[in-house]
Structure 1
Amino acid sequence: MDVFTCAGCGTELTAPVSRVALPVHTHYGAWEQLHPPLMRPATYAVEPRPIGPPWRRWAEVGADAAARQGVFAPVYSVSFGARNGVVIAPGDSRSMTLILDRCEGYCRGVDGRAGPNLACEGCGRAVATRIDDCGSWQTVWFGPDEVVRRPSGVPAAPPPGWDDLERPGHRVPPVEPDGWWSPRWEAAVGVALAHMVAVTEDRPVTLPAGPVADLLGHAVGRCLPAGPGARSVELAGPGIRLPRPRPDVLLVPRHPLTGAPWRPPDDEGAVVPLDSGVWAYLAHPGETSPMPATGVLPEGVLRDDYPLPPLPRCPLTAHDRAFAGTLITLPAVRAPRLRRYYDAYCRDVEAASAR
């Protein structure tokens, strides 16, 4: 495991943490809601893309400079901030104090608008940004030049791998206890659908019957047209036998450590990566029967009078900003067909989120 220390004085600023994949919902929360921490305890992730200020308008920088920043379609403004920011859960931060005149926020917390708002207790340098306002996942972000990663001396647990996807604790339920869709699901579906639009070039798809069609069908129908010539989509991944012939598109998990999409051996066909916790729920939903058990209880069942699962109040839809914000990062959006799609459906979303 590692610790991050102040680049100025060497003070340890985190508890021991281990690296995991950056969650796909990192920048996409649910408006007017208080969120839990983004990261699990004792973990950290790295954002390879530039984030935060300075911002420059697309009209000033042009398509080539924007593409070097990882943005391939017109947006209101492009980030020229630092790459490789480090994010941890607030509970894993150490030896930092709030800079009170930088604690502005929209509603119920701080949103980092004034820049780094946490100072090292050892030397007073501004080293991190705490974010916990409504609509944002609770995080502490370190600038890449503000900290140094060092071994902690604490033995690390085995790194997460594909086997973790079969653990019950890895599955993310789609519906919250209050009956609303999970914001993690909404963001994950938005990110996945952007990839699906790109690999299908805005053409119809057919989803497999069962959880995929039941949960994702409405969201897919809002983003892709209906009609002939549909591309076939199937769920695939570790522990699932790949159907033959191979479907046109595979809906696959991201690796929990690297974030890379799963692929069958020697396969270069189209895949759509999905949040591993969301994928795990679709692939391994576990015991969900609403009917009373009879006879001997199945393994893992502790009671025979199942409560009814929470019912969503409306069909699942993709998070608009997650969808548009992912599509602009895919080079495929520069193709004429997808550029027309983006201009028709996404530019208003991007413009609104930039203001």
Structure 2
Amino acid sequence: MDVFVCAGCGAELTAPVSRVALPDHTHFGAWEQLHPPLMEPATYAVDPLPSGAPWRSWGEAGEDLAARQGVHAPAYHVSFAARGRIVIAPGDSRGTALIPEKCAGYCMGIDGRDGPNLACERCGSAVATRMDDCGLWQAVWLEPEAVRRLPSGLPAVTTPDWDELDLASYAVPPVEPDGSWSRRWEAAVPVALAHLVVACDARAVALPGPLAELLGGAVAGYLPAGPPALTVGLAGPGAPALRTGPDLLLVPRHPVTGEPWRPPHGTAAVVPLDIGVWAHLVLPAETSPLPASGRLPEGVLRDDYPLPLRPRSPFVPHPGAFSHTLVRLPAIRRPSLRTYYDRYSGP
């Protein structure tokens, strides 16, 4: 495990943390709603692309400079923040204090619009940005030039193989207890759809059954229109074997490495999907209130069986997750994909 220290004075700024994959929903939250922490305790992730202030418009940056910043097609704005920013849970932050004049936000908290707003308590250097306003996952973003990573002295956390993962523990239900759709699903599904559009080269596809049944109507507007030219299947560790070979495979991203699962055989292209969403779609769920064996005693009525949660409204993918992801995939420069993107106007 690692700790991050101030690059100026060496003071410890985090608890011991272990690196995991950057969540798909990192930059996509529900407007005017408070969110829980983005990261699990004792973990950190690194964003390889610039994110956050300062911003420039696409026209101001120009196509070539925008591409160097990781934006490969026209977008509303382009980030010129540092690459490699490190995100941790707020509870893992140590030895920092807010910079009051840099704590602006929209209405419920701090959104980081003024740049780093946390200073090292020992030397006063600006080292990180706390973000917790509405529509943002609560997080502390360490600035890569202001901190150094050091061994914590604790044993390293081993990276599990695919067959060592407890997939059921990663599954995320699509519906929250209050009947609203999962914020993670709202972000992760359009992120995967952006990768799917690139993998199918903007050709029409047929979604796999579980995904089509649950979200087919809501996501249809993101995919190219027309009779399906390609088939998509759900595949991965623990998934039921596919009877026929689909053209594309919707597979989980490893929760630690972020790499997509790869089939041992075959040449089908893979499309990464948040492991929490993937696991819910693939793993069987209990659907019967009856005992697995035997029967209830005579005269006993079971009233504690939870009925499946039903959403109170139609599924609406996060409005910015699809286009934000699509313009950051270099393949969007291909003529067929750029034509699709120029015509795309949202679902």
Normalised to the residue count of structure 1, the TM-score between the two structures is: 0.90
Alignment match, 1:10: 10
Q: Which amino acid is the alignment partner of residue 56 of structure 1?
A: R
For the pair 1:65 / 2:65, whether they are aligned, the reply is yes
**Stretch deviating more after TM superposition (263-272 or 252-261):** 263-272
Q: Which portions of structure 1, spanning 4 or more consecutive aligned residues, are displaced by more than 3 angstroms?
A: 163-167, 290-297
Matched to 2:76, the amino acid is Y
SS in 1 for 2:62: helix
Q: Deviations over 1:73-106 (max 9, x none)?
A: 1113211210000000000000111111111110
Cα distance between partner residues in 2 of 1:80 and 1:21:
22
Answering whether residue 137 of structure 2 is matched by residue 137 of structure 1, we say yes
**Deviation of the 1:227 alpha carbon:** 3.2
Shift, 1:231, TM fit: 1.0
Amino acid in the other structure paired with 1:341: Y
In the alignment, structure 1 residue 96 sits paired with structure 2 residue 93: no
How far the C-alpha of 1:333 sits from its partner, in A, is 1.8
Change in CA separation of 1:53 and 1:226 when aligned onto 2, cut-off 3 Å = closer
Q: Distance in 2 between matches of 1:36 and 1:342?
A: 33
Identity across matched positions, percent: 64
Is residue 118 of structure 1 aligned with residue 114 of structure 2?
no
Q: Confirm or deny: 8 A CA contact 1:252 1:273 kept in the other structure.
A: yes
Q: For the residues of structure 2 that align with 1:164 and 1:82, how far apart are their CA atoms? A: 35
Report what 1:233 is aligned to: 232
Report the count of equivalent residues: 342
Shift of 1:10: 0.6
- Runs of at least 5 residues in structure 1 that lack an aligned partner in the other structure: 298-302, 350-355
Cα 1:123–1:66 shift into 2, 3 Å: same
Q: 1:42 to 1:296 in 2, by over 3 A?
A: farther
Measured after TM superposition, the shift of residue 267 of structure 1 is: 4.5
Report the 3-state secondary structure (helix = DSSP H, G, I; strand = E; otherwise coil) of the residue aligned with 1:23.
coil
Give the alignment's Cα RMSD to 1 decimal.
2.2
> 1:27 is matched by which residue type in structure 2?
H
- In structure 2, distance between residues paired with 1:75 and 1:337: 18
Residue 63 of structure 1 and its aligned partner are, at CA, apart by 1.7
For residues 82-93 of structure 1, what are the structure 2 equivalents within 5 Å? 82-93=82-93
Cα deviations across residues 245-269 of structure 1 (Å, max 9, x unaligned)?
Answer: 4211100001111111111135543
8 A Cα contact 2:251 2:273, kept in partner: yes
Contact 2:246 2:268 in 1 (8 A): no
Structure 2 matches for 1:175-190, cutoff 5 A? Answer: 175-190=175-190
Q: Note if contact 2:29-2:183 (Cα within 8 Å) is conserved in structure 1.
A: yes
d(CA) in 1 for partners of 2:96, 2:244: 56
C-alpha spacing 1:157/1:105, structure 2 compared with 1 (3 Å)? same
Task: Return the offset for 1:230.
Answer: 2.7
1:169 correspondence with 2:154: no
User: Counterparts of 2:31 and 2:163 in 1: how far apart (Å)?
Assistant: 34
Partner of 2:27 in structure 1? 27
Aligned to 1:80: 80
Q: Is the contact between residue 206 and residue 228 of structure 2 (CA under 8 Å) also seen in structure 1?
A: no
TM-score by length of 2: 0.92
